[in-house]
Amino acid sequence: MIAYVVRRALVAVLLVFAVSSASLVLTRLAPGDFVTESLGTHASREAMERMRERYGLNKSIAQQYRDWLAAAVRLDFGYSLQYDRPVRELIPERAANTAILAVTALGLATVIGLPLGVLSGSRRSGALAALVRAASVVLLSMPPLLTSLFLVFVAARTGWFPIGGMSSAAVTGGGALLDLVHHLVVPAAAVGLPLAAMLERLQAQATTDVIGEPFVLATLARGVPYSRVVWRDALKPALRPVASVYGLIVGTLLSGSFAVEVITAWPGLGKLMLDALRARDVFLVAGCAGTGAIFLAFGTLFSDLILGLVDPRARE
């Protein structure tokens, strides 16, 4: 078991470096660079060349990569071209914000999605199952941009929730937590509701599959009430597909959702990543991709561990 985890951790490190390197190279290959983006038509050729030299953008891709790698093994991931701050400082700041959102959204999604999935999958009540399915499909087919915009629009019209942002300016001390929760509702709903829909669909399908198995028939034949069978005996095997993607979901959530973060002005990692790409901020891009890789590697490991717990047949 320990050996397994250690092996996976080593592979994860390798994965992180591979992804960061690929991102750095790809960003250099992309058209334009930081200098054209920030100075554009407002500067002379000399000023642009000077800036390129200052940021090291006039080096070849191979040279820049080698320099970056040499520093990275010493855990120095370079400076962001946009903000002139070490990437090492910039990312954890934003990642923490995204983590708060991710955990809340995941909690919301699990609490709503899984039980509803079991309910609609066991098809106890036809009307409820149809309603839940319709709601899930609505949430799944709406683009995240549209969902966030709709929720922000509702927040603006009703005035119940702040129109974006993570905190209010003049709140300190004890009120800060309440203020945070108040600001969390809309973004967490924007991320959590579609996720709940996905979990519900997966769980419903899995529940339906399991209830069709012989052992369920046998248990019912013994006289065990149906709801007991659904929530006790059939639950563990029915959790298998969700468990297999759960860690993955955690990993993806921690990388942030760009659409939600932009519309709700949540200062998270997703927005940082895409802004870095737009600005061709090569080191920040590599750092963000690497961070995403860390989260995902952790996520898949977590996933495989849960899977082992839930399904003994799948254990090593």
Partner 1 sequence: MRTLRAFVVITVLVSAATACRARDRATPAGGTAPVRGGELVVSVRTDPQSFNWFTKRDGTTQLVTYLTQARAVRVNRVTQETEPWLAEGWTRSEDGRRYTLTLRPGIAFADGQPFTSADVVFSADAAYDEASVIADGVMVGGKRLQMTAADPRTVVITFPEPFGPGLRILDNLPIMPKHRLEPTLRAGAFGRAWGVGAPVDEVTGLGPFVLAEYVPGQRIVFTRNPRYFRKDANGVQLPYLDRVVVQIVSDQDAEVLRLQAGQVDMSGAEIRPEDYAPLRRAADAGRVQLLDLGVTYDPDSLWFNLKPGAFGGDPRAAWLQRDELRQAISLAVDRKAFVDTVFLGAAVPVWGPVTSSNKKWYSADLPHPPYDPARARQLLASIGLTDRNGDGVLEDAHGAPARFTLLTQKGITSLERGAAVIRDDLKKVGLVVDVVPLEGNTVVKSFLVDQQYDAVYFRVGTTETDPASNADYWLSSGGSHVWNLAQKTPATPWERRIDEMMARQIAALDDGERKRLFDEVQKVFAEHLPVINFAAARIYVATSTRVTNLTPTLLRPMLLWSPDTIAVKH
Partner 2 sequence: MRANSRTVGIAIVSVAAAIVFAAPALAPRPIDARFPGALNAPPTVPHVRDDDGAWHAPFIYPWTLANRLEQRYEQDRSVRVPLAWFENGHVVQSSDETRAPLLWLGTDTYGRDVFSRLVFGARVSLGLALAAALGSMIIGALVGGVAGYAGGITDDVLMRLTDFVMVLPGMYVALALRAVLPLVLPAEVVFALLAVIFAVVGAPFIARGVRAIVRSERTLDYAVAAEALGASPARLLIRHLLPSTRGFMAVEITLLVPAFIVAEATLSYVGLGFPDPTASWGTMLRDASNIRAFADFPWLLSPAVAMFVVVLGLNLAVQNQRAHGTIL
CA gap 56, 113 in Å, rounded: 49
User: How far is residue 129 CA from its own chain's centroid?
Assistant: 28
Of 7 and 85, CB closest to partner 1: 85
| Residue 60 interacting with partner 1 (CB under 8 A) | no
> What x/- string results for residues 115 through 134 when contact with partner 1 is judged by CB under 8 A?
-----------xx--xx-xx
| Residue 244 interacting with partner 1 (CB under 8 A) | no
With CB under 5 to 8 Å by kind, the binding choice for 27 among partner 1, partner 2, none is partner 2
| Residue 36 interacting with partner 1 (CB under 8 A) | yes
Length, in residues, of the chain: 316
**Smallest gap, in angstroms, from Cβ of residue 293 to partner 2?**
5
**Smallest gap, in angstroms, from Cβ of residue 94 to partner 2?**
15
Q: Give, as one character, the DSSP assignment of residue 173.
A: T
Of 8 and 123, CB closest to partner 1: 123
| Residue 97 interacting with partner 1 (CB under 8 A) | yes
CA gap 283, 291 in Å, rounded: 12
Handedness of CA 23, 257, 117, 296 (dihedral sign): positive
**Of 259, 109, 113, which Cα lies nearest the Cα of 188?**
109
**Of 293, 276, 295, 278, which Cα lies nearest the Cα of 79?**
276
| Residue 275 interacting with partner 1 (CB under 8 A) | yes
| Residue 31 interacting with partner 1 (CB under 8 A) | yes
Taking residue 245's Cβ as centre, other Cβ atoms within 10 Å add up to 17
CA gap 29, 31 in Å, rounded: 6
Residues in contact with partner 1 by the rule CB under 8 A: 31-33, 36-45, 47-48, 50-51, 54, 82-85, 89, 93-94, 97, 126-127, 130-131, 133-135, 138, 149, 152-154, 156-159, 162-167, 169, 262-265, 267-268, 271, 275, 278, 280
